[in-house]
Amino acid sequence: MRKIDTGKLVVITGPMFSGKTSRLLELLEREMRAGRKTILFKPEIDKRYSNAHVVTHKGIALPAIISPIDSKARKFILEKSKGFDVIGVDEAQFWDPKSNLHNLLEELVFLKKLIYVSALNKNIKNEAFETTSKLLSSADEIYTLTSVCAKCGNDATLTQKIRNNKEVFKKVIDVGGNDKYEPRCRNCYVQYRHK
């Protein structure tokens, strides 16, 4: 087993369907093959596919611990991650900004933990998620992924929320998959109009 000499925060970001969770699981599996003790957390509001696993849209899965996303997250994650070398966090944008997830993960990095986090880059209004922004500003390494635009096939960097083939902007936090969202390039993305 290769020892971790220094902590590191790696953030994987991009729009829906860009492979963020797939990359996260791939990196965690690599660490497990290296013999490192690894733990994975998922937000309590993400009940897609499984309650006990993080599952990609393609069906690849790893066991996960369901975490609170509010102020209780800090104590919970600190307690559950004791004795682990590598910590994974999926869908970090769902953690409430008041949970200070970025501060907690930064603290763990200074304890020589290797942290891998996946997070949406922007919400459906093309605005940054506060938790994602703070994680990106603390990251030692960032993977920025793109998807394929559902309209034209170009690289997609944005996420469009849809209902009955129409773009909608209600309920920014709304867990779902291709039943609710499409990846879009800038040319095909329908912008939110602030009133």
Q: Could you tell me the residue ranges of all domains in the chain?
A: 8-145
* Digit-coded pLDDT (tens) for 62-107: 899 999 999 999 999 999 999 999 999 999 999 999 999 999 999 9
At residue 6, the pLDDT reads 86
Question: Looking at domain 8-145, what is its CATH homologous superfamily?
Answer: P-loop containing nucleotide triphosphate hydrolases (3.40.50.300)
Burial tier of 34 (Cβ tally within 10 Å: 0-12, 13-18, 19+): middle
pLDDT score recorded for residue 195 = 62
The residues annotated as belonging to the active site are: 91
Tell me the C-alpha distance between 80 and 130, whole Å. 25
Please give the pLDDT value at position 169.
85
| Residues whose CB is less than 8 angstroms from the CB of residue 3 and which lie 6 or more positions away in sequence, other chains included | none
| Termini Cα distance of the chain | 56
For the stretch 130-186, pLDDT in tens is 999 999 999 999 999 999 999 999 999 999 998 888 887 888 876 767 778 999 999
Tokens of 17: 């369907």
Helices 130-138 and 101-109: angle between axes, nearest 10 degrees = 20
Query: Which are the contacts of 52, defined by CB distance < 8 A and separation ≥ 6?
Result: 63, 64, 66
Residue 54 has pLDDT above 90, yes or no: no
Instruction: In whole angstroms, give the CA distance from residue 130 to residue 100.
Output: 10
Strand pairing category for 158-163 and 181-184: antiparallel
Q: What is the pLDDT of residue 176?
A: 67
Does the pLDDT of residue 57 top 90, yes or no?
no
Instruction: Return mean pLDDT, the chain.
Output: 91
Report pLDDT for 124.
Answer: 93
CB atoms within 10 A of CB 185: 20
- Other CB atoms within a 10 A radius of the CB of residue 9 amount to 22
pTM of the model: 0.92
Tokens of 1: 């087993």
Greater model confidence, 147 or 2: 147
pLDDT digits (tens, 9 = 90+) for 3-33: 777 899 999 999 999 999 999 999 999 999 9
The DSSP output letter for 166 is E
